[in-house]
């Protein structure tokens, strides 16, 4: 079936209710294209989403999907992938979802290195709750809950991922369709946890981190001499607070995903009609 | 006299109390005797009083009693801690050669046996075996063939090599011989042995074993007393059956991972205790509305907050019954003894998949850490039946699609149970969500669809109420006007309390209820009795509340919340007093 799959097969017949111009449109399109390009189809794909404007993505895509609770999408994706390694698992959410309420899960998902793809639609604001500061909001960004700015430095998700032992760390810009698709595709192809932070502007509540801002400031790593397998170079770029980078910042090509390390290769949905063979040994152990 | 032995070893945490107790329990069980163990332990790793207690008889034993016959006291405090349970015929084994035990006073008419545990252990190869010397001494006091101890030592130390096993056997012999040589034989114990081969395990292990038997392949959890044993049991075993245990970063993650695995089609579970179940509450509603089969075990301990983590309580009933915002259809199943932890776990998985709901397995600390002997057939693997419910395969999908060929995972059927397509099924890709949704799983705020879906989910519970057997178990005199009801691990103590009550010419009908929701309708039973008492380990009577509500009547309550499980003789006394009391307080 996969040879005939087009990216539109991943589109549901539900019209997105995102604001016209929202960065999430581009982010989603790239994800669908990347899935199709990597030979997946809706029947073997599982999309997990959190809560937020970004989290609505599961509704607009067509695949097996779960739209869960705020901040907990990564654990759900982990369970799905470990239980059925045949599925292509993609987890999506916002910066609030992933780096605030879900920050703990993020660090641990990174270090657990389950073979799935995590796309964060980073608009540096809380969209769905109508414009409060997010963990990636700038220190002086005025919002309804931070009238004088958050007065605390933003989190650097790429640095978090690198320090947690991330094996694939990338960043893209939703509107740069070709690069964004390519980067997500690389994340899917990566053996392990593929993390992509996507600049996905909120046209309604964020007038600072706009399309124009990103367009003017983004540096594409492909146009530098950056070698993504060089951790030191990645560190330097990631900690560079003055620039916004696009591309794969770090990839560990030796990465061994969780399932391989733990010898998980079968679909756990396949169970016998009764107690498994050898179950009586479990009882004998207690003699 | 006594074939019914109450033995304990007590000392400081870190003294190897637990493993010594377990060795003796195993020796007794291997000699075909029934065993029921309990633990006094504090929430610390080293230091602090700790004890391991064994009750053993050739007949089944189902509870602890307020009586201690033989006490191995490694510290003086051990005697003080157990003073209430010691009696004039009790025997205390201690090491009088140790300076801190030199001036020990043996209370009342009790017999103190000063056995140089440490010296004899050193002679056998190392002071570390002092507890084993004490076990040898206990064998002599109870006329229990020491060969049974040998086999338990082989099992325990076999992996460490023959010489370790031999040294331990030698240590035990030294203890036995010392008692035989130094003391006049006036102990009237006679522990019979039988040909029975029992297995000895605790409730947490039984839950883990039930999970594997039921085809559970995925477990995610976060360590917490007293549920950790479930995870430790599954780790290293579930892998042999193609499964995986994941230690999550917290309980929020654990339940969401388990949910993810369940959505992928695995039989999946998590287990925790009070503080952890609080964190998991957020996801209860998602499990229910996305109609995901999930087993969530809550092994209760004493709360609220961090409470008394190593003590018994049945305080989370309301939490599992009502926890979570909004109204959440669910099942709550509460096993009443160790064997039932196995059976009810298997049942929980079937209920979860059949009805696509969260199923709470409500166990308690006393049952979880109690080791009990059973005939191996009690854990009958051949009897395990797996019912995966309405899973549709590739060919059946079409019957459940709408006019535009879209699969409807939340189709509103007559019994409320919808078709379930596991990921990978062709042409059935769909989403599920915690948002209110239509038959397709898509978000809606349509008032009619909302009502339809809420009713549909509730209908599953009604269907289950009608189709499954939720009966209680009945003991005592069926015609008695005195009705006692309990749930969870109180069953054993209560059954034995019936005998004590009978000695006082009090007859009682006793119902033990393993299902909290749905639960049996006991209204008629309650109405037709003159006196109704509900026994539970909590202060306010949470189960009594629901029964009063069901039957619109008032019941008397026997509650215990000092952190210790009910003891049979104590329970009998309390019931006697309640039956004689006038007022019924709500
Ligand atoms: C436990 C919980 N707390 C709060 C909320 C309310 N809430 C919904 S979305 C959201 C933040 C969304 O921000 P972000 O993740 O950045 O996504 P965006 O909407 O910007 O795409 C919050 C706080 C919730 N649904 N659940
Ligand atoms: S509020 Fe912002 S993030 Fe949400 S849909 Fe509108 S533009 Fe997009």
Distance A181 CA to ligand 1 centre (A): 26
Arithmetic mean of pLDDT, A18-22: 98
Instruction: Decide if B243 and A62 are in contact by the 8 Å CB cutoff.
Output: no
In chain B, the residue whose alpha carbon lies closest to the alpha carbon of A50 is B433
Please work out whether the CB of residue A203 comes within 6 Å of at least one atom of ligand 2: yes
pLDDT digits (tens, 9 = 90+) for A173-199: 999 999 999 999 999 999 999 999 999
State residue A51's pLDDT score: 97
DSSP codes of every residue in chain A: -GGG--GGGGB-SSPP-SPTT-HHHHHHHHHHHHHHHTT--GGGEEEEE-SSTGGGHHHHB-SEEEE-STT-HHHHHHHHHHH-TTSEEEEEEEHHIIIIITHHHHHHHHHHT-S-EEEEEE-SSBTTTTSB--TTS-TT---SS-TT---SPPP-HHHHHHHTT-SEEEEEETT-HHHHHHHHHHHHHSSS-EEEEEE---TTT-SSS-HHHHHHHEEEGGGTT--TT-HHHHHHHHT-TT-EEEEEEEE-TT---HHHHTT--S-TT---SSSPTTHHHHHHTT-
CA-nearest of A239, A222, A236, A112 to A167 is A112
Which residues in chain A have Cβ-Cβ distances shorter than 8 Å to B443?
A: 59
- Calculate ∠ Cα B563-B564-B566, nearest 5°: 135
State residue A2's pLDDT score: 45
Distance A129 CA to ligand 2 centre (A): 10
CB pairs under 8 A between A and B: 210
Rounded distance between C-alpha atoms, residue A219 and residue B112, angstroms: 84
Tokens encoding B43: 């929430």
pLDDT digits (tens, 9 = 90+) for B24-33: 999 999 999 9
| Neighbour tally for A104: CB within 10 Å | 15
Q: Helices B162-182 and B147-157: crossing angle, nearest 10°?
A: 150
Please work out whether the CB of residue A75 comes within 6 Å of at least one atom of ligand 1: no
Q: What whole-number percentage of chain B has pLDDT above 90?
A: 91
Arithmetic mean of pLDDT, B53-72: 93
Please work out whether the CB of residue A123 comes within 6 Å of at least one atom of ligand 1: yes
Whether omega for the bond prior to residue B136 falls within 30 degrees of 0, making it cis, is: no
Confidence of residue A4 (pLDDT cuts 50, 70, 90): confident
Yes or no: say if A258 and A115 are a contact pair by the CB < 8 Å rule.
yes
State residue B13's pLDDT score: 86
- Calculate ∠ Cα B321-B324-B325, nearest 5°: 125
Whether omega for the bond prior to residue B320 falls within 30 degrees of 0, making it cis, is: no
* A276 and chain B in contact, CB less than 8 A: yes
A287 closest CB neighbour out of B197, B246, B263: B197
Instruction: Decide if B384 and A66 are in contact by the 8 Å CB cutoff.
Output: no
Whether the pLDDT of residue A1 is over 50: the answer is no
Q: What is the ipTM of this complex?
A: 0.97
* A272 and chain B in contact, CB less than 8 A: yes
Distance A123 CA to ligand 2 centre (A): 9
Please work out whether the CB of residue A24 comes within 6 Å of at least one atom of ligand 2: yes
Rounded distance between C-alpha atoms, residue B424 and residue B521, angstroms: 42
pLDDT digits (tens, 9 = 90+) for B381-428: 999 999 999 999 999 999 999 999 999 999 999 999 999 999 999 999
Arithmetic mean of pLDDT, A155-171: 98
Rounded distance between C-alpha atoms, residue B281 and residue A158, angstroms: 31
Q: For A3-7, A146-150, B105-109, B449-453, which range has the lowest pLDDT when averaged over its residues?
A: A3-7
Yes or no: say if A282 and B435 are a contact pair by the CB < 8 Å rule.
no
Rounded distance between C-alpha atoms, residue B329 and residue B351, angstroms: 13
Q: Atom of ligand 2 at shortest distance to CA of A18? A: 5
pLDDT digits (tens, 9 = 90+) for B236-291: 999 999 999 999 999 999 999 999 999 999 999 999 999 999 999 999 999 999 99
């Amino acid at each position: 079936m996969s040879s005939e799959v087009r990216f539109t097969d991943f589109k549901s017949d539900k019209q997105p209710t995102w604001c016209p111009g929202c960065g999430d449109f581009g982010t989603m399109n790239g994800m669908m294209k990347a899935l199709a390009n990597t030979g997946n189809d809706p029947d073997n794909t599982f999309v997990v989403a959190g809560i937020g404007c970004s989290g609505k993505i599961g509704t607009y895509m067509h695949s097996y999907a779960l739209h869960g609770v705020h901040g907990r999408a990564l654990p759900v994706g982990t369970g799905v992938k470990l239980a059925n390694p045949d599925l292509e698992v993609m987890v999506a959410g916002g910066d609030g979802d992933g780096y605030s309420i879900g920050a703990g899960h993020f660090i641990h998902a990174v270090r657990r290195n389950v073979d799935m793809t995590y796309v964060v639609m980073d608009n540096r604001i809380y969209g769905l709750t109508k414009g409060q500061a997010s963990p990636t909001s700038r220190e002086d960004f005025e919002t309804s809950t931070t009238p004088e700015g958050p007065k605390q430095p933003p989190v650097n998700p790429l640095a978090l991922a690198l320090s947690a032992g991330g094996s694939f760390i990338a960043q893209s810009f939703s509107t740069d369709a070709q690069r964004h698709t390519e980067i997500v595709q690389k994340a899917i192809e990566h053996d392990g946890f593929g993390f992509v932070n996507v600049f996905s502007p909120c046209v309604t509540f964020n007038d600072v981190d706009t399309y124009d801002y990103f367009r003017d400031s983004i540096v594409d790593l492909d146009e530098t001499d950056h070698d993504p397998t060089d951790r030191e170079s990645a560190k330097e770029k990631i900690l560079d607070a003055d620039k916004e980078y696009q591309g794969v910042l770090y990839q560990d090509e030796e990465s061994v995903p969780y399932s391989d390390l733990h010898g998980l290769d079968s679909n756990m949905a396949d169970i016998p009609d009764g107690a498994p063979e050898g179950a009586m040994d479990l009882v004998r152990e207690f003699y | 006299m006594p074939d019914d032995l109450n033995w304990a070893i007590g000392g400081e945490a870190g003294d190897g109390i637990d493993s010594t107790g377990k060795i003796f329990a195993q020796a007794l069980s291997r000699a075909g005797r029934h065993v029921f163990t309990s633990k006094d332990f504090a929430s610390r790793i080293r230091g602090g009083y700790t004890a391991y207690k064994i009750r053993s008889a050739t007949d089944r034993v189902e509870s602890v009693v307020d009586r201690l016959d033989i006490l191995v006291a490694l510290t003086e405090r051990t005697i003080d801690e157990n003073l209430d349970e010691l009696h004039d015929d009790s025997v205390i084994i201690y090491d009088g050669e140790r300076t801190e035990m030199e001036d020990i006073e043996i209370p009342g008419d009790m017999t103190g046996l000063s056995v140089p545990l440490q010296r004899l252990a050193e002679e056998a190869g190392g002071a570390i075996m002092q507890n084993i010397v004490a076990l040898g001494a206990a064998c002599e006091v109870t006329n229990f063939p020491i060969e049974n101890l040998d086999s338990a030592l082989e099992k325990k130390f076999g992996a460490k090599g023959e010489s370790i096993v031999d040294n331990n056997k030698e240590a035990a012999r030294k203890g036995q011989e010392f008692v035989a040589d130094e003391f006049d034989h006036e102990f009237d114990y006679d522990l019979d042995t039988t040909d029975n081969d029992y297995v000895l395990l605790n409730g947490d292990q039984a839950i883990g074993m039930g999970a594997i038997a039921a085809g559970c392949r995925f477990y995610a959890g976060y360590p917490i007393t007293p549920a950790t044993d479930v995870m430790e049991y599954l780790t290293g075993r579930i892998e042999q059956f193609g499964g995986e245990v994941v230690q999550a970063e917290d309980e929020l993650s654990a339940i969401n991972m388990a949910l993810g695995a369940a959505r992928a089609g695995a039989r999946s579970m998590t287990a925790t205790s009070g503080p952890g179940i609080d964190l998991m509450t957020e996801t209860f509603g998602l499990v229910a509305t996305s109609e995901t089969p999930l087993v969530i075990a809550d092994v209760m301990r004493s709360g609220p907050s961090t409470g008394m983590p190593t003590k018994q309580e049945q305080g989370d009933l309301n939490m599992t019954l009502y926890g979570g915002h909004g109204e959440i259809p669910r099942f709550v199943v509460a096993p009443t003894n160790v064997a039932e932890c196995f059976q009810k776990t298997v049942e929980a998985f079937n209920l979860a998949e059949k009805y696509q709901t969260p199923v709470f397995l409500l166990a308690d600390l006393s049952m979880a850490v109690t080791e009990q002997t059973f005939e191996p057939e009690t854990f009958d693997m051949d009897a395990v039946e797996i019912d995966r419910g309405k899973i549709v395969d590739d060919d059946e999908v079409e019957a459940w699609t709408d006019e535009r060929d879209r699969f409807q995972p939340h189709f509103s059927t007559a019994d409320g149970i919808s078709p379930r397509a596991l990921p990978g099924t062709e042409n059935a890709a769909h989403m599920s969500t915690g948002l209110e949704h239509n038959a397709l799983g898509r978000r809606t705020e349509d008032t009619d669809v909302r009502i339809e879906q809420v009713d549909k989910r509730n209908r599953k519970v009604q269907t289950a109420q009608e189709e499954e057997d939720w009966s209680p178990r009945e003991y005592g005199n069926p015609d008695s006007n005195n009705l006692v009801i309990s749930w969870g691990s109180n069953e054993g103590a209560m059954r034995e309390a019936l005998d004590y009550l009978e000695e006082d010419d009090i007859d009682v009908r006793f119902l033990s209820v393993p299902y909290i929701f749905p639960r049996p309708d006991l209204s008629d039973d309650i109405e037709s009795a003159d006196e109704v008492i509900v026994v539970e380990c909590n202060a306010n009577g949470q189960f009594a509340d629901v029964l009063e509500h069901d039957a619109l009547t008032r019941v008397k309550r026997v509650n215990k919340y000092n952190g210790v499980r009910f003891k049979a003789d104590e329970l009998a006394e309390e019931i006697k007093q309640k039956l004689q009391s006038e007022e019924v307080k709500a």
